[in-house]
Amino acid sequence: RGSVYYTRTTPGFEINDVGFVGRDDIQSFSNWWQRRWETPTTWYRRVFVNFNQWTSGTTAGLLTDMGGNINAHAEFSNRWWIHTGFNYNNWVPTYCDRNCTRGGPALKQSRGAYNGWLGAETDFRKPIPFFATIEHGRSDEGNSHFWWMGPGMSFRIASRFQGEVNGALYLNEDDNQYYETFDGGTPEDRSYTIARLEQREARLTARLDFTATPTLSVQFYGQPFVTTGEYSNLREVVDPRAARYADRYAPYTLDRNRDGTAEVPGGFDYKQFRSNTVLRWEYRPGST
């Protein structure tokens, strides 16, 4: 199986009053091809292997992304699943024209950003199946990297009560995080700065569904969430299209501490608990 896509959104296109547009001034070309094995054997029931390739850029021709992906999914004879995949971005140098400097110059992205993942699921016919995924990636010539881990489980205690609980832990070292634009009075004097961000994030998500009667049910959603981050190594974008990663930046000096070191604003510590409960009663057929 396969498909080929081409999309183009012209500069200034705006439909947010009636829909949603992530960004304008973009064109992209992508391919998806899949090989499937659906005749069961002694060790698997079905296997899918996907091949993807994509290229995107502005309508003026500035290349913003070029990459590819291969991923595979197999259901074994015991009804367990395994999933794995690998992305390789920036086959050639590309340019980040929006998010990296937030209105500043397009910033060159080094070749060879990649990430891979591996996941598994137990038999979902069982009352308590489990699932887990782990992912790792590197970019910015090895200066940025991350780990993501997501275990979870679902359960069906009875025909009328079921739920799911899953967690996530995210460890991120981003050497190319936008920090702030310092205005020197004129557009030419603006300083677009980036910093190294060491971020930690954890969350636990729970969903519970209870059906009391055919016309009365309760659904609950809850998620505690915490993220912390520390900024360091503040730099100014001085040569956004330099071939070498280090040559694109220069140290940026803020106010000085008493010991003469540059002051870099610390970071953030954000905690939140979100929840939602819905009681649904169909008091007459078709009316809820």
What does the pLDDT look like over 17-39, one tens digit per residue? 888 888 899 999 999 999 999 99
Taking Cα atoms as reference points, which of 241, 79, 251, 117 lies closest to residue 179?
251
Residue 214 structure tokens: 């055919």
Among 6-20, 131-145, 195-209, the minimum mean pLDDT is found in 6-20
Q: Tell me the per-residue pLDDT of 215-263, one tens digit each, with 9 for 90 and over.
A: 999 999 999 999 999 999 999 999 999 999 999 999 987 765 555 555 6
Among 20-34, 107-121, 168-182, 255-269, the minimum mean pLDDT is found in 255-269
The one-letter amino acid code at 232 reads S
- 218 contacts 210 by C-beta, under 8 angstroms: yes
The one-letter amino acid code at 83 reads H
Residues 132 and 146: their CA atoms lie apart, in Å, by 17
Helices (H) and strands (E) in the chain, counts: 0, 15
- 199 contacts 170 by C-beta, under 8 angstroms: yes
Residues 251 and 261: their CA atoms lie apart, in Å, by 12
Helix %, strand %, coil % of the chain (to 5)? 5, 65, 30
